[in-house]
Amino acid sequence: MDIKQQFTILAVDDHLVNLKLIEKSLSKEGYRVLSASNGPNGRKLAIAERPDLILLDIQMPGEDGFEVMRFLKNNPITSSIPVIFLTGVSEVDSKLKGFDLGAVDYITKPFHNLEVIARVRIHLKLSIATNSLIAEQAQKLRQITEAQESLLPLPKDHPDAKFGVYYKALHEAGGDFYDILDISDHIKGYFIADFSGHDIRISYMTAAVKALLTQNFTPVYSPAESMKMINDILVEILPEGKYLTSCYVQLNRGTSKLTVINAGHPPVVHIPINGTASLLSSDGDVLGIFKDAQFGITRIDVSPGDRFFIYSDGLVESAENNITWVNGAERFLSDFTTVSNLPVEDAPLQLIKNFFKKKNMTSGDELNIIPEDDIVLLCVEV
């Protein structure tokens, strides 16, 4: 089947003669041409039709081309559409202002049909090439995202670990990371880390840290010894200026002992089966900076049915509202209790909904939130 691609051009000009000339010349070249005789109608057509290119007159009564341009570039639906200004011969300042607003070119009036056709053709070619490059780069970033997320275990992968998780990356290369470690039949490890920065290098570091966890968290070493060995290695291999905050929780269901190793990370929330939520706070140095780093260590007795939450700072922090994880964890502590009776697999998502006060779910059951940072939230039941 032969599928022909037709390009759509939107012409916005208050002079009907100009519109007719543009429509006639471009239609003969196989383009679909839409016309608007004023700015508001041009904006509406641009949103409704999403043309491949816009020819926009600068001088129009009422809403001029500059106002239309500002609207187009501030609207995500139309921001990437190339715009060619139609301008007078002596309007140098107008031309410069048009470029500042995002125009790709200008055509001087009175214009020649062949010039209009040539410039439209050139900028459509450039737009096609740019969009192709963007699509290619986006695909590569999606592959990185998929590879990074494939390293993150799901509850079905570790049914005896009794956990639920919510994970959302702000960028393609997420800075947050978690892992579940099978230390022995009755000892499980739960690790969360937050890398500084969100560049592509961090996505590759995730695999390296995962390998370090498997190699060093074993029954032979105490949790503190394991964390120290990992830190010593990260000091050597992390790029300069990079580090990670982390929290490691080791749960021994055989002895009902919980050990928390904190490396500059938000405190763990502990909810006893018949009690209220509390913070297991302990200060510690971040991983990957100091060779002689000291970590916060907390050990408590737990009972079957107890729950604890490990999370990254993106859950409780808000730069917009001037909330840090230091005061954010305390501020939101009561919210953790509200989900303590839910199935452990469902608790993280419900807690996110409560935190962000967003009840509208899309058809894909994906929470409609725009986080300020990556978010990892683990809920574990003893």
Model confidence pLDDT, tens digit, residues 347-363: 998 888 877 764 344 44
User: Mean pLDDT throughout 182-197?
Assistant: 88
Predicted confidence band of residue 365 (pLDDT cuts 50, 70, 90): very low
Does the domain at 151-381 match CATH 3.60.40.10? Answer given as: yes
d(CA 266, CA 326): 7
Burial class, 151, CB count within 10 angstroms (exposed 0-12 / middle 13-18 / buried 19+): middle
Domains 8-142 and 151-381 share a fold: no
Q: Per residue in 289-309, pLDDT tens?
A: 888 889 999 999 999 999 999
Q: Per residue in 67-126, pLDDT tens?
A: 999 999 888 889 889 999 988 766 677 788 888 888 999 898 888 889 999 999 999 988
d(CA 154, CA 165): 8
- Architecture of the domain whose range is 8-142: 3-Layer(aba) Sandwich (3.40)
- Tokens linked to 191: 């690790």
Q: Is the per-residue pLDDT at 56 higher than 90?
A: yes
d(CA 98, CA 313): 43
- Write down the pLDDT at residue 307: 94
- Write down the pLDDT at residue 1: 45
- Write down the pLDDT at residue 95: 80
Predicted confidence band of residue 223 (pLDDT cuts 50, 70, 90): very high
Predicted confidence band of residue 274 (pLDDT cuts 50, 70, 90): confident
- Write down the pLDDT at residue 359: 39
- Write down the pLDDT at residue 324: 61
Beta-bridge partner residues of 260? 249, 298
Q: Give domain limits for the chain.
A: 8-142, 151-381
